[in-house]
Structure 1
Amino acid sequence: MVSRVELFALIRRDARVEGLSVRALAERHGVHRRTVRHALGSAVPPPRKAPARSSPVTGPLRAAMDEMLQADLNAPRKQRHTAHRIWEGLVDEHDATIAYRTVSKYVAARRPQIVLEARNRAGVMDGFVPQTHLPGQDAEVDFAEVWVNVGGVDTKCFLFTLRMSFSGKAIHRVYSSQGQEAFFAGHVAAFTELGGVPAGDIRYDNLSSAVRRVCFGRSRVETDRWVLFKSAYGVTSFYCMPGKEGAHEKGGVEGEGGRFRRRWFVPVPKIADISGLAGINDKLAAADHAEDARHIDQRVTTIGQNFALETPLLAALPVDEFDIALTTTPRVDRYARITVRQALYSVPARLIGQTVRAKLDAEELVVFHGSTEVARHPRMTTKGGQHLVLDHYLEVLAGKPGALRGATALVHARQKGWFTATHDAFWAATRAKHGDQAGTRLLIEVLLLHRRMAHAHVIAGIRVTLEAGSVSPDVVAIEARKHAAAAGEPSTELPRPQRSRSKVVSLPDRRRDAELPPDARPAPSVEAYDQLLSNPSRKGNVS
C-alpha cells in the first residue's frame, strides 16, 4: 500500500513529466481531484482531520467533571479528586449511568488541560530557566534514603549529600538517622573534605534539624543549635519553597542522591552491626574521589578539574572546632538506665539515682560521670529502643543471681556475640556442681574478668578450665594470663575489681570440693635447709 507521502510524490512526478491534467491524474491514481490539487500545491500531505464523534453519555457530564477538576486547583494535594471519586460523585449526585473506565480516560486527558488553562489565565508559563553558578559560591544539601543490611536485616539509613553547584563535586556520608547530629556531622565531613565552606548560599529543604517553623514565603524560624553552627562555620542558608513547588530549586542534589545510590549502593551493603557504617563511610570517601573523573552535563572538563577552580574561592574553615554532639544531663533510673532522645541506654549500676552527662553524636552516645567516661553505646534510632550492656549489671546480679537468666542485658550480650557458647558451657557446669545460685555467682566472677582482660583470653581460659574438669574462676584467670603471655599481649589493663560478695574459702577447702585439678606433686620438705644450721647437733631442734 502506497503511503500518502509516496502518493503525493507520484502525482507531482506524473504532472511534471507527462503534463497530465488534474482529472487525468485523479483517474490514474484513483483519488479525488481535491487530493491532486493538494499534492500539486505542496509535497507535504496535509494532516488528517479527526472526525467529530458524538458522546451521548459523556457530553452532558463534562461540565460536572470539569467543575470538580477546577476545584482541585486550590485544594491540598492529598485531598484532590481521584477518577474513582469523580465517578462516585456522578453516580450518586447526578444519577449518571457511566462506566468508570470512561471517566478515568476523560480525567486523565482533561486534568492537564485545566491546569494549563489556569496557568495561561494567570500569565504563567510552565518551563525551566538555565542557571549559571559562580565557582566556590553555591551548594545544595539533601538527605536520601538508602538500605543497608545490618546483621542480616535490611535497615533504612540516610545518605547525606552536599553538592557544589558549579563543579558538581559532591560529598556523601551515610547515617542511621537524619537527626540534627547527623545533619551537623555531614556538614563537618563535607567542609573538611572540600577544604572550605561555600562562600555563597547553601540550599536546603525545610528539615526539622534546621527549621523550627515555616513562616510566610521563605521566612523561617531556625533552631538555636543550627544558628550556632551556621555562625561557627559562616554558612548562609537558602530555604526552598515547601512541597513540589520548591523541588526544582535544588534539582542538582535531588538527582544526585538517586544516581549515587544506584551507582554505589547496589548491591545492598552488608555490615555486622550499626557501627559498621563507619567502614561504609570510608568507602564513600573513596567513591567521592573516584567521581572526580566523571563528566556531567556534557561538559568537556571533569568534576575534579572544575572543582580545582573552586578550591581557592571557598571560605576558610573555622579555627575552633564546633562540638556537634548534643549534651544532656539525664538521671539514672533504678534499672541503671538513662533516657536520651526517647531511647534507653545502660550505665554502671553504681550510678543508680545519680545524674550523669551524656554526649550524643550522629552514631554514638558517650556517658560521663564527672570527667570519667563510664559507658559508650551505638546510637539507637527507634523510639523506646534499648541498648543494655551486661557488664553494667554484674554487681547487682552478684546479689541477685536468679535475675541473670531473664536479664534483657543478657539477651543483648548474646545478640552481640559477647556472651558466647563457651560462657553457657561454663554456666551449665557451675550450676551442675554448685546449684543455680552459687553456680551463677561463679559465672559472674568470670564475667568480671572481662573488665581487665581481653575477651579472647578469657574465653581461652574458660575452655582450658573446663577441659581440666574445674569450674574455678581463679583457674580461669590463671589460664587467661597464660594465653595472653603466649600471645605476647598484656593480660591486665585495669586494676582488679573488688571481688563480689561471694564466700571467701581457703585453698584446701576448694581442693576438698574438687574444684581444682588433682595435684600430683610431692609434699614440700625443709630437709635442704638443714645445712644452714651452725651446730649440726641441734638438727631438728630449732625453736
Structure 2
Amino acid sequence: MMIVETIAKIRRLANVERMTIREISRELRLSRKVVRKALRPDVTAFTYKRKRQPRPQLDTHIGQLEALLAEELPKPKRQRLSYTRLFEMLRENGYAGGYDSVRRYAQRWFKERAVSAQGVFVPLAFAPGEAYQFDWSHETAIIDGTTTQIKVAHVRLCHSRFFLVRAYPRETQEMVFDAHEQAFRFFGGACRRGIYDNMRTAVATIFIGRQRIFNRRFEQFCSHHLVEPTACNPGAGWEKGQVENQVRTARNRFFKPPPRCGSLAELNEWLEARCLTWARTAAHPVQRDRTVMEVFTREDQPALVPLRLPFDGFHEVEAVASSTCLVRFDHNRYSVAARAAGRQVQLRAYAERIAIFLNGEIVAQHPRSFARHATVYDPWHYLPVLARKPGALRNGEPFRDWDLPDALRRIRQRLAVHPDGDRQFVTILSAVPEAGLEAVEAACTSALEARLNSADAVLNCLARARDPEPPAPILTPASLTLGLLPEADCARYDSLRAAVRA
C-alpha cells in the first residue's frame, strides 16, 4: 500500500516536472498501473480495509467466546476479564488459535454494543423555578484526623444549575429533611417540583409507570414547602441526569484530595463556600455569556416559592425507657428524666439531636451520637434518684466527670471529707429544680466567701437571697403633719386612779 508521501511525489513529478507515466515508473520503480492510480484527480491517499478476517481456528469457538463476553458486558470495566484471560479460558477448552484473533473479535464485539449499552437520550429543559433534583453520593473526608466515609446530599436547581452539597453520617429520612431545609435556605426558596430516585426514605410503594406512593412523613414535608415530588423510573437515572453528573463534578472538585476538617459542621461550612465560589466563576452551559450565579439571581431566584417556617424534620420511633433511665436508638443509649423509667416514650431523631417525649412532654434532649454502643448521660435526669440514694453520687456512672459550675465543684470537694458529705451535696443539688442553677451557684459562692461548707449554710444563703427586700418608708404629706406633738403625762393616769377610788 502506498503511503501519502509516495502519492505526493508521483503527483509532483507528473504535474510540476511534466514527466510521463513511464518515466515516473522508472524513477520510482513502481508499476505504471500504480502510477495511473495515484494520478487520479480525487485520490490523495489509499486505504485498505479487510471486509472479512479469516479465523479458521476461532470460528468453532465463537459461541463459547460470545457467552463469556455477554457475562462481562454488564460489569464495570475494571471488573471485566482481560482479553488475555479470555484467551486462556478458550485454550483450556480446546482452542488452538492465536491471541490476536480473540482480542480483535472481543474489541469489535464490545464496540458494537457500546452505543446500545450506553443508550441515547433526549436533552431536557426546565423553566426558572420549575424543578430541582436530589441525590446522594458516598465520599471520603478526613475529620478530626480520621479518614471517614460520609454521605453527601446533592440538591441542584435544574434551570440555573446552582447547587449545594452537604455532608452527613447517614442517609436516613431526618438527614433528607435537613438537607432540603439547608438547601432551601441556601437558595432563598423552593422549586415547585422535586425530582428523586426511588429512595426508601421518600417512596413507600412503586407501581408500573409513574405511579408512586410516597411515605407519609415525606408527603408532609413536601406539602409544607408546596413541592410536588416526582420519582424517576427504576434504572432511568438520566431523568435526573444533571444531579447525576454533578456527583462526578463535585467529587473531582471538592473531594479529591479528601478535605481535612475538624468536624462535620466545619466541613459543611467549607462545602457551602466552595459551592458559592464555583457558581460565581462557572459559565452556564446554555447561556455561555453568563455565570451560573448570574442566571440564578436574574431568572431562577425570583421564580422560587418563598420560604415558609422550617419543617420539623424528625423521624419518630416508639421506645421503652429502662429501669436505669436509658432509651436505646441507633446502637446508642440516651438518658431520660427519672419519671419516664419503665414507661413508653416517643423518640424523635433529628439530624443533629435527639428529643424524647412522654405523653407530649419533653423528658430528654441530647446531641445525637453517631458512634456505636455509646451512652449519652445527662446527670440532672438522675437527681430524684440521688435524693433517695445519695450514695450513688460517689460511683454512679452518670456522675463521672460531671461538668458542674466552679462553686458547686468546690463545695463538693470540701464536703467529700465529711462522713455525710454526699448526702449534704445531694441536698444542695435538690434545690436546683426549684431555685435554678444560677441561684444555687450564687448561694455556694456566698457560702464559700463566708468559709462555710455545709448544706445548711448554702440553703441559708439561698433563702436569704430569695427573701424580699423591706418596703420603702412611707412619706407623710406636710398637710397631715401634727403641729403640736403630744407629750407623755403620767399624772393623767394617777388622776384616773383617784377617780376610781372615790
Measured on the aligned residues, the alpha-carbon RMSD in Å equals 5.0
1:377 corresponds to which of 356, 366, 381: 366
- Tell me the alpha carbon deviations over residues 468-520 of structure 1, each in whole angstroms, 9 at most, x when there is no partner: xx9x898xx99xx9xxxxxxxxx9xxx9xxxxxxxxxxxxxxxxxxxxxxxxx
Deviations 1:367-406 (A, max 9, x none): 24466644322334467554344565575684446854xx
Which residue matches 1:387?
376
> In 1, Cα distance between the equivalents of 2:3 and 2:432?
90
Q: Work out which of the residue numbers 98, 103, 106 in structure 2 matches 1:105.
A: 103
SS in structure 2 opposite 1:330?
strand
Structure 1 residues 270, 77: closer, same or farther in 2, change over 3 A?
closer
After TM superposition, list the pairs within 5 Å mapping 1:106-505 onto structure 2: 108-113=106-111, 115=113, 119=116, 126-199=119-192, 201-243=193-235, 246-265=236-255, 268-272=259-263, 276-277=264-265, 279-294=266-281, 295-297=283-285, 299-307=288-296, 308-318=298-308, 321-341=310-330, 343-369=332-358, 373-381=362-370, 386-389=375-378, 392=381, 395=385, 398-400=390-392, 404=396, 407=397
Residues 1:125 and 1:354: Cα distance change in structure 2 (over 3 Å): closer
Separation (CA, whole Å) in 1 of partners of 2:155 and 2:207: 25
Query: For residues 59 and 450 of structure 1, what CA distance do their matches in structure 2 show?
Result: 90
2:62 maps to amino acid: R
Structure 2: runs of 5 or more not aligned: 467-502
The alpha-carbon deviation at position 321 of structure 1 amounts to: 4.7
Cα distance change, pair 56–166 in 1 and its aligned pair in 2 (3 A): same
Output the CA distance in 2 between the equivalents of 1:336 and 1:72: 56
Of the two, which has the highest radius of gyration? 2
- Sequence identity, in percent? 24
Structure-2 separation of matches of 1:114 and 1:70: 12
Whether the 8 Å CA contact 1:38–1:45 is kept in 2: the answer is no
CA–CA separation in structure 1 for the residues paired with 2:381 and 2:88:
63
Q: CA deviation at 1:165?
A: 1.3
2:13 partner letter: D
CA contact (8 A) 2:8 2:44 kept: no
Label 1:134 to 1:127 Cα distance change in 2 as closer, same or farther (>3 A). same
- Residue by residue, what CA displacement relative to the aligned partner does 1:401-449 show, whole Å, maximum 9, x if unpaired? 6854xx4x68xx77xx969xxx99x999999x799xx999999999999
Unaligned runs of 5+ in 1: 482-490, 496-543
Return closer, same or farther for 1:240/1:89 CA change in 2, 3 Å cut-off. Answer: farther
Deviation, structure 1 residue 235: 1.7
On the 8 A contact 1:87/1:103 being kept in 2, the answer is no
SS of residue paired to 2:174: helix
Q: 1:309 to 1:53 in 2, by over 3 A?
A: closer
Deviation at 1:341, TM superposition (A): 4.7
Matched position secondary structure for 2:167: strand
What's the offset of the Cα at 1:218?
A: 3.5
SS at match of 2:154: strand
Do the aligned partners of residues 346 and 35 (structure 1) sit closer, same or farther apart at CA in structure 2, a change above 3 Å counting?
Answer: farther
CA distance in 2, matches of 1:5, 1:376: 81
AA of the residue aligned to 1:4: I
Matched AA of 1:364: R
Relative to 1, partners in 2 of residues 1:55 and 1:439: Cα closer, same or farther, differing over 3 Å?
farther
Q: TM-score, normalised by structure 2?
A: 0.69
Aligned residue pairs total 443
